[in-house]
Structure 1
Amino acid sequence: MSFDLAKVIRPEVQGLRAYQVEVPPGPPPRIKLDANESPFALGDSVREELAAELGKALADVELHRYPDPEARELRGLLAQDLGVAPEQILASNGSDEAIQMLLMAVAGPAVTIVAPVPTFVMYEIGSRVLGLRFVGVPLDGSFDLDGTTFCRVLAAEKPRLIFLAWPNNPTGGLYGSPMVEEILRTCSGRACDALVVVDEAYTHYSGETFLPTLSAYPNLVILRTLSKIGLAGIRLGMLIGSRAVVEEINKVRMPYNVNALSQAAARVVLRHPDVVRRHASAIIRERERILGRLRDFTGLTVFPSRANFFLIRTDRPGDDVFRGLYERGILVRNFSRAPHLANCLRVTVGTPEENDAFLSALGAVMGHGG
């Protein structure tokens, strides 16, 4: 047989690398600080309620039937929590699916997508999978965004979609609100007509949101996820915007995209915002403690963070530091070979004990005490 797969798969897809997380060979890590997950379980009372809710869902749901295709009850709870109408929310299978839906809705010949770089890699991967032109605008040496330059690029490129991770991943920085609003105005017909997607995946750790400005900017879309606050395993995200925007994006949503058990689990967590706030506060305290300790390290650049992770750059090969940490049982995210991120590692904030172990291991790898 002479079947040639290369003649079937689009060249854009063949040129991509699948999304992968680097894990060296050997025994599994003792401490996992690589995926920006919450280190805290939900607590006994919430877990008991969650088990009861999931048990009820398993008992009540006819598993040979599809789940509620519109996730109506869940969207009603989300609307109460966010202070918007249910019609302004689209539930998704993680925020990754929301990103894909947005790209699908604007896709077409010669369509351009713009985002600062480095940033969340799925913006670019999703664009290229659909054959769209992705334009990355480099951040400065401190991983901050030059708003004037960025708006100039928008005027020249006239994209249909702009992604702003807020705080940015993997750098942890939070662009100034006035700059983001200037981008929104620039894309409201002044220089181009484009949706501006503010990805608030880490909003619980930044304390900032653009939700109050939704009515002022019809081109504003906000993404949220439950993955960073203790429910990474259920894959639930959401897209929030005007009724008109949500109605259009909903047309490209896959049917029954959020399963019944994910909907049930999310309902439980949304009934316990106090637990989410308490865990977020603990992580913020730990983040600031670790960053303060790291500033005493030599040979290390520590970048400010408003997320549940932080980025460091070492004065030695990042691969060596990554392997040294892994040999001591600690897995972090190695970005040292990625564009714009030479010798950079991203570290998720863990429990106090995990963080102390990381500091001690890093001190040993770098050749001094933590």
Structure 2
Amino acid sequence: MVSNISNLVKKSIQKLKPYHIENTPCRIKLDAMENPYPLSKALMKKVLEGIKGIKINRYPDPLASRLKDIIASDIKAPIDNIIIGNGSDELIQLILTAFGEHGDRVLLSIPTFSMYGIIARSLSLMPEGVPLDKNWELPLNKFLSDMERIKPKVIFISYPNNPTGNSFDRESILKVLEKATGIVVIDEAYYNFSRKTFLPYLKEYKNLIILRTLSKIGMAGLRVGYLMADKEICQELNKVRLPYNSNALSQEIASIILENRTEIQKQIGAIISERDRLMEGFKEIKGIEPYPSETNFILFKIDRDSKEVFDRLSDNGILVRNFGNDDYLKNCLRVTIGTSEENDEFLDEIKKIIT
């Protein structure tokens, strides 16, 4: 009889901690980089009409063909160079499963999106991080030196970077691509807010993979991500992609929304405008240092215990993300851009707390 389940668990899993997601009740939710605007009634009507025809007793299209066609048309790429995933997290897992052997190294910056390291460790890979400089920039010489030292199978670059919000120097990333002997993943989750991309370099660098997601632009509940890469890479990744990984509802709804992208583009424009306005509001509050952002959030540092500020905001029904326990983000908080009314209330409340 088995008396201790932990003895059966892989050692690499035993050392992990579950990814923590706050489930705090709140009036204003500004913690998860979501689009704060709902779909219009007209677009929601199209969505409801579209899903009426879905036969949920049948498996979904295993290739997500319609959705891939729409994305391929938008990015001007062949569908054979695209894979749809159940969120970007699944695609990260596919990449590490396909290209990482037990004990292989994975290189990333610190701080960055934590799932790169979590998924790598779960697959018995060894992530190594290079701390960003004081301006949250990639320290190129150190990064290249570590590439030479550890020979990483996979390199992850978040562009713009989460949670700092900035885009690393383009020339630095190109030098990484030139020197890399493994796979280089550029995660463009916030592309719609930065409009910066390495998509034109896909033909030049066969080891380049670009990740994107629909979660940040209004479809977080659908869990749809996609990657773009050389056809040969996609063929290898499809060997480990689970069948029917993208469900029928997500495929249909995402397709309808992308076919009516004008509404989403207006929302993205509003978020960018509100981001700029929120940044100006921060600058008027003594004791807050906001960092430049090309995303749908702003990271900011305060001159006191961030947990205290986080708790007081929570007590007033406003949920943000606290990074106070992170060695590299001491007394930092991250706020997602909300509606103008939400941003006004957030600014008013944090002004009361700080001043």
TM-score by length of 1: 0.94
Question: Runs of 4+ in structure 1 displaced over 3 angstroms?
Answer: none
- Name the CA distance, whole Å, in 2 between partners of 1:109 and 1:99: 16
| Partner SS, residue 272 of structure 2 | helix
Given that 1:118 and 1:339 are in contact with CA atoms closer than 8 Å, whether structure 2 keeps it comes out as no
User: Counterpart amino acid of 1:44?
Assistant: K
Match of 1:190 in 2: none
Structure 1: unaligned runs, 5 residues or longer: 188-192
Shift of 1:311: 0.3
Match of 1:274 in 2: 262
Shift of 1:276: 2.0
Given that 2:86 and 2:224 are in contact with CA atoms closer than 8 Å, whether structure 1 keeps it comes out as yes
- Name the CA distance, whole Å, in 1 between partners of 2:344 and 2:85: 36
| Partner SS, residue 216 of structure 1 | coil
Shift of 1:107: 2.1
Match of 2:195 in 1: 207
Match status 1:42 vs 2:39 = yes
Of the three residues 331, 345, 357, the one matched with 2:319 is 331
Of the three residues 123, 136, 157, the one matched with 1:143 is 136
Shift of 1:246: 0.8
- Name the CA distance, whole Å, in 1 between partners of 2:313 and 2:277: 20
1:36-94 Cα deviation digits (max 9, x unpaired): 0000112122111111111222xxx2x23211111112111111011100000000000
1:275-329 Cα deviation digits (max 9, x unpaired): 2221111111110111111012111121110000010111111100100111111
Of the three residues 48, 52, 63, the one matched with 1:51 is 48
Given that 1:22 and 1:334 are in contact with CA atoms closer than 8 Å, whether structure 2 keeps it comes out as no
Q: How does 1:164-313 map to 2 (within 5 A)?
A: 164-187=157-180, 193-313=181-301
Q: Percent identity?
A: 41
User: Counterpart amino acid of 2:117?
Assistant: E
- Name the CA distance, whole Å, in 1 between partners of 2:79 and 2:40: 29
Given that 1:332 and 1:345 are in contact with CA atoms closer than 8 Å, whether structure 2 keeps it comes out as yes
Match status 1:5 vs 2:2 = no
Given that 2:102 and 2:123 are in contact with CA atoms closer than 8 Å, whether structure 1 keeps it comes out as no
Given that 1:21 and 1:333 are in contact with CA atoms closer than 8 Å, whether structure 2 keeps it comes out as no
Shift of 1:207: 1.3
- Name the CA distance, whole Å, in 2 between partners of 1:341 and 1:20: 17
Shift of 1:142: 2.1
Match of 1:155 in 2: 148
Of the three residues 323, 332, 343, the one matched with 1:344 is 332
- Name the CA distance, whole Å, in 2 between partners of 1:12 and 1:306: 35
Match of 1:134 in 2: 127
Give the CA RMSD over aligned residues: 1.2
Given that 1:115 and 1:164 are in contact with CA atoms closer than 8 Å, whether structure 2 keeps it comes out as yes
| Partner SS, residue 246 of structure 2 | coil
User: Counterpart amino acid of 1:129?
Assistant: S
User: Counterpart amino acid of 2:174?
Assistant: E
Match of 1:68 in 2: 61
Match status 1:124 vs 2:127 = no
Q: Which moved more, 1:124-133 or 1:72-81?
A: 72-81
TM-score by length of 2: 0.98
| Partner SS, residue 22 of structure 1 | coil
Shift of 1:2: 5.4
- Name the CA distance, whole Å, in 1 between partners of 2:241 and 2:102: 21
Shift of 1:179: 1.2
Given that 1:31 and 1:329 are in contact with CA atoms closer than 8 Å, whether structure 2 keeps it comes out as yes
Q: Which moved more, 1:102-111 or 1:257-266?
A: 102-111
- Name the CA distance, whole Å, in 1 between partners of 2:265 and 2:205: 28
